[in-house]
Structure 1
Amino acid sequence: MTIYLINRPEIRLYYELFSAWKRLIDMTKTAKKLILSIVSLGLLSLVGPGNVYATGDCEETYGGGETCIINKSFRIEKKVRKDDGDDWEDKVTDVEEDEVIEFRIRIKNTGELETDDMKMEDFLPDELIRVGGDGLTEEWDNFEPGETKEFIIKVKIDSDEFDRTNFDKCVVNKAEVRYKDKFEGSDTATVCYGQGEISELPETGFDTLTVLTALGLGSMALGIVIRKSSK
């Protein structure tokens, strides 16, 4: 019966139309998949590998949302030198009035991700005045793995610090690195300066030494008296 119907011209025409329509549907599904694949590849190429990595390893959490682990790390190093010096050190001494001092802050991306929203902040002591170089606060983006940012800050000691004699003083300057406004690390450098001669022993120290000496002599005398009495 089926063969007889298909052999009829009108039925055969309907059958061929149905087959063509089915093949068209299958081709449409394949075309949709191909279009989606092309669009996905295009989006990935626009985003770029750095931003893809920045998402980290993400897992879906219960109730919706994602928890992402981002492998990031940074290293900060702070050094100091006199303006006419060659070597960078952790500490400089005998800094004179009006002498320029340079602080060098280096921040390295030691992680595996390109990061944005980076910030360096330098906490200059009140005794030091910035006279040039980079700012006390610096922000930047596109911090690539292995890249190092360097900042130079030039300062002088406040002249009011030298309005006295016979003193010796050290101040500590700290710099911090932050990622998305979260603390990631810090380092310090020290500046020492002074003027005049420092007394070898303060007045209060002399009095204390005198008292201790007197007590010691008194104890010895008391011991001699006791020994003589026992005889």
Structure 2
Amino acid sequence: MPRTILVVDDDPHIRHLLVFALAKAGLDTVEAADGEAALAAAVSVPAPDLVVLDINMPRLDGLEVCRRLRSTGGEVPILFLSSRDDEIDRILGIELGADDYVVKPFSPREVVARVMAILRRTAARPPAVAGAAGPIRHGRLSLDLDGWRACWDGIEVPLTVSEFSILRTLAAMPAKVFGRDAIIDRLHGPGFAITDRTIDSHVRNLRAKFAGVGGGDVVETRPGIGYRLGPCAGAPG
């Protein structure tokens, strides 16, 4: 079935450009010209499979749209567009739960490629883990690989695609320390151009979400090396 992409931008030229490029890639599209329309479309039936979301919009900007979607447990993947190549904006967007970020002016091909990569990660079945039958369990953490669900003491903790992928990577080999480059390769494939700071932001997001349910020890930092799965025994954030 074709995937549906919600394209949100207050500039009609940009919306039409993206709709045309996404349609050529075989994707259905829905348009929204402002943040309020985007929120309504994001929870429509059927809901979109991904949101391409401009940050700089009047009335209700993209960051606030993302914040509201995530505050209600919405897990739809989000690709941010911004006219400012500002690292603070990028980090804030990732910390709010965005899955990727493209700076204007952009190539429609690049946006389509990023969209397709996110959709593949969403639809892909996680690889089998040696010695694991069914969910991965470690301490009070459990991961349902087929359902892309993370739980702490049986309570689901809503994660974005990237956050779940990082946690799945760490949980599959709990004794291994993963460098940031290795995590990027697992998420996006070799050669994908994102910064170490983006991985750090995803990990901060993971920690904050699990700390809220008593799982402040879900990810462990090894200074100068990277990250590995924590003991998951339960600790304050």
Question: If the TM-score is normalised by the length of the shorter chain, which range does it land in?
Answer: under 0.3
| Larger relative helix fraction | 2
TM-score if structure 1 supplies the norm length? 0.17
**Higher relative contact order (CA closer than 8 Å, sequence separation 6+):** 1
